[in-house]
Structure 1
């Protein structure tokens, strides 16, 4: 259950950073605020979610769906 909450929180943070980057892109350029910072965070946390899911599957905390055939 804790693993699911962590993954959901990370996914929400990814979406939050995506919207922040969009706002920076639409607004007038301001010194010190870079869109790449928010997009970089989004990519970092996306990779973290994938690694977390792979580790949880390797440790047996989650199980993949059975084969459909």
Structure 2
């Protein structure tokens, strides 16, 4: 259950950073605020989420859905 909550939190961070990058892109350029910082964080959180899911699956903490047939 803890793994699922961590993955959900990471997905929320990914969406938040996506919106923050969009706001920086739409607004007037401000010194010191770079869109690439938020996009980089989004990519980092995505990689962490994927690695965490793979590790949890290998350790047996989560199981994939059974085959539908």
Q: Under a length normalisation based on structure 1, what TM-score does the superposition of the two structures give?
A: 0.95
Q: Segments of 4+ in structure 1 off by > 3 A?
A: none
Q: Higher RCO, 1 or 2 (CA under 8 Å, sep at least 6)? A: 2
Within a 5 Å distance, the mapping from 1:39-54 to structure 2 comes to 39-54=39-54
Query: Matches of 2:38 and 2:50 in 1, distance apart?
Result: 19
Q: Which runs of 5+ in 1 are unaligned?
A: none
Cα deviation 1:7-39 (Å, max 9, x = unaligned): 111100110000000000000001110000000
* Alignment-derived partner of residue 30 in structure 1: 30
Q: Under a length normalisation based on structure 2, what TM-score does the superposition of the two structures give?
A: 0.95
Indicate the RMSD between aligned Cα atoms, in angstroms: 0.7
